[in-house]
Amino acid sequence: MKPAPQILSRRSALKTVTVSGATILASGVLPHIAASNAALPPVLKGKINHSVCRWCYPSIPLPDLCQAAKEIGISGIDLVGPDEWPVLQQYGLHAALPHGAGRGITEGFNDTRLHDELVASYEAMIPKVAAAGYNQLICFSGNRNGLDDEQGIKNCVAGLKRVMDTAEKYGVTLVMELLNSKVDHPDYQCDHTAWGVAVCDEIGSNHFKLLYDIYHMQIMEGNIIDTIQKYNAYIAHFHTAGVPGRNEIDSTQELNYPAIMRAIQETGFKGYVAQEFIPKRPNALASLKQALQICDGA
């Protein structure tokens, strides 16, 4: 299902949501978010490190989103690039999973023709991530484009191994996202947990792990809790959204997020769980607050 016309797609958002922090902070456009969020005090247990994906709120200026996030108990923002980091720092928020290197979702490390370019891009970005105080950077397999899974693994491993020394030197973990290829990202190769785990095993570094997107993996393979329990050592980050539809994660959809969060807690996971649903209700921040309460752990 494609996002509604007024909402940026994830793919386009990764390329376009890079507004200058200085410009936004100087604009002073905060009142409507502050007003709508005034009745949303934090009521969280503090058992989960909460983040939110910036691209899901394209109509909300980044400072407004940061202010609202801070007020409802979110400590991180996902999928923000270097131009946006100063805004997060202004609000005391962490770039939980930055982007800014590579070509995006469809053109990744499974294409050997891109390796030199991708290696240069990631080796330039990794020190910037570390200098800003962050420790993760997203990456992608790319689309299959006719590659079988075994060759795709080999290609990704060959390219990613070239940047592991830099990642390890700066203490930055490259995190490859698991995405569904049935609905949102046709032909994407890293679309099953076992495939991503195989890449991790071949690379053999604690500085390469997976972004386990619960929404995407429910569509592709289900069995969410068992998979998290089995492969938790390979997972550095989580994303959420409701299935079907990628909207709110409440009782209108099929996943039992409280049980999933308990399973994540029981693994000893200390990273971030980021909300990546597209709000369809008029009060998007109320939906976000509700999601945090649902995902706040036992």
96: CATH? 3.20.20.150
Q: How far apart are CA 198 and CA 267, in angstroms?
A: 20
- Domain of 77 in residue numbering reads as 49-294
| Domain membership flag for residue 80 | yes
Q: CA–CA distance from 194 to each of 44, 125, 226, 227, 287 (Å)?
A: 33, 28, 13, 9, 32
Judge whether 31 lies within some domain: no
Residue 24 counted as domain residue: no
In a domain, 233, yes or no: yes
pLDDT at 33: 42
pLDDT at 10: 56
- Angle at 210 (CA atoms; ends 202, 141), nearest 5 degrees: 70
Residue 192 domain flag: yes
pLDDT score at 12: 52
pLDDT value at residue 135: 98
Residue 26 is predicted with a pLDDT of 33
The answer to whether residue 16 is domain-embedded is no
| Predicted local confidence at residue 36, as pLDDT | 41
**Mean pLDDT of each 10-residue bin along the chain, 298 residues long:** 40 45 35 41 78 97 97 97 98 98 97 98 98 98 98 98 98 98 98 98 98 98 98 98 96 96 96 97 95 89
What per-residue confidence (pLDDT) applies to 11?
54
Residue 243 in domain: yes
Q: Give one DSSP letter per residue of 15-66, joined into a string.
A: HH----HHHHHHH---HHHHHHHTT------S-SEEEEEGGG-TTS-HHHHH
Residue 45: its pLDDT value, please?
82
pLDDT of res. 282: 94
Q: How many domains does the chain have?
A: 1
In a domain, 18, yes or no: no
